[in-house]
Amino acid sequence: MSATGQSILIIVLLVINAIVAILYYVLNTIIKQNREKSILIRTVVMLLCPVAGPVFVMLSFVIFKVFMSEPVDLADVVFSKERMKFESKADEEKERNVVPLEEAIAISEKDDLRKLVMNLVSSNASESLASLTLALDSEDSETSHYAASVLQDMLNNFRVEVETQYRRVLDGDERRVSICEYLIEYMDSYLSQRVFIDLEQKNYVEIMENVCDIYYENAEWSMTGRQYEMISLRLLEIESYELCEKWCMRAREHYPESLTTYTCLLKLYFNSRQKEYFFETIEELKNSSIVIDSETLELIRVFS
């Protein structure tokens, strides 16, 4: 083919390409009025890249139709700027059956008592162990047997969990600090309910104190006032006054402006009959900037 023929062929291709691009722009602008910007970009590409541009646009259209044109299921999607708020209705039947277990033991209707104990367990058994011990004295054998079974299972789970995690701490597990933090909270949730016999309670409090010591040695400034209060009160309950004072002093060092620091000290000095320190602590509390709540005022009134 001569040079003239080649030039004519190129001109024809350019003209056809331009016509295709213009037709593409006009038709798509009419059909898809909300996408004029993207259509204009494609048209420019087709004009600047003769033949290749239209081929690319056509191939992308075919690929989109074949592989990506399936409708999307939006049944579970909510496009809204308003926050959805769902409120569940109270279980009135269950709430009507919630009463102190001390009163429930005296209920004559066995079915009502059984239903109440079931609700108690299903709500949060680990926080209801002390109440379950009261149900052991029920005259209804089925209720007392069920309470004993649940209580035994929960305590056995506690024993296994404490033994497992405590062993990890003693073996120098790399996560020992977080394990100690978990154990302190977990053990206190059970030990504070006083459901173990005295000897076992004392043994677990001593384990908890050792865990607190390891936690203190490795993360002294991470220990919270609440954690100091937990171990102080558990030690006070088993009359381990020397260790209790150790933790009260540590709490005083790290949380000198905390009310719980003073309440733990007051309880310690009262129970260990250290009257002089007891009244000194009261004076320190009065002269501090700490706001004394009604519970602490009542504590001071009763102890004084």
pLDDT per position as a tens digit, 177-206:
999 999 999 999 999 999 899 999 999 999
Closest by alpha carbon to 113, among 91, 83, 82, 134?
Answer: 134
| Conformational region of residue 17, where left means phi above 0, alpha means psi within -120 to 50, and beta covers everything else | alpha
* Burial state string for 240-262 with b = 16 or more CB within 10 A and e = fewer than 16: bbebbbbbbebbbebbeebbbbb
Model confidence at 67: pLDDT above 80: no
* pLDDT value for 42: 75
Closest by alpha carbon to 268, among 297, 240, 290?
Answer: 240
Average pLDDT over every residue of 70-98:
45
* pLDDT value for 54: 77
pTM of full prediction above 0.85 = no
Average pLDDT over every residue of 37-49:
74
**Is residue 202 within 8 Å of 238, Cβ to Cβ?**
yes
Asked which of 18-27, 43-52, 56-65, 116-125 is least confident by mean pLDDT, the reply is: 116-125
Model confidence at 69: pLDDT above 60: no
Please give the C-alpha separations between residue 243 and each of 208, 247, 266, in angstroms, as whole numbers. Answer: 12, 7, 15
* pLDDT value for 259: 94
**CA–CA distance, 96 with 277 (Å, rounded to integer):** 48
**CA–CA distance, 117 with 105 (Å, rounded to integer):** 10
Structure tokens at 20: 């295709």
**Is residue 191 within 8 Å of 220, Cβ to Cβ?**
no
Closest by alpha carbon to 231, among 221, 214, 218?
Answer: 214
* pLDDT value for 170: 95
What's the whole-number average pLDDT of the chain? 79
Structure tokens at 228: 């100091």
Structure tokens at 204: 């677990």
Asked which of 40-44, 190-194, 265-269, 283-287 is least confident by mean pLDDT, the reply is: 40-44
pLDDT: which is higher, 89 or 30: 30
Q: What is the 3-state secondary structure (H, E, C) of the chain?
A: CCHHHHHHHHHHHHHHHHHHHHHHHHHHHHHCHHHHHHHHHHHHHHHHCCCHHHHHHHHHHHHHHHHCCCCCCCCCCCCCCCCCCCCCCCCHHHHHCCCCHHHHCCCCCHHHHHHHHHHHHHHHHHHCHHHHHHHCCCCCHHHHHHHHHHHHHHHHHHHHHHHHHHHHHHCCCCCHHHHHHHHHHHHHHHHCCCCCCHHHHHHHHHHHHHHHHHHHHHCHHHCCHHHHHHHHHHHHHCCCHHHHHHHHHHHHHHCCCCHHHHHHHHHHHHHCCCHHHHHHHHHHHHHCCCCCCHHHHHHHHHHC
pLDDT: which is higher, 60 or 294: 294
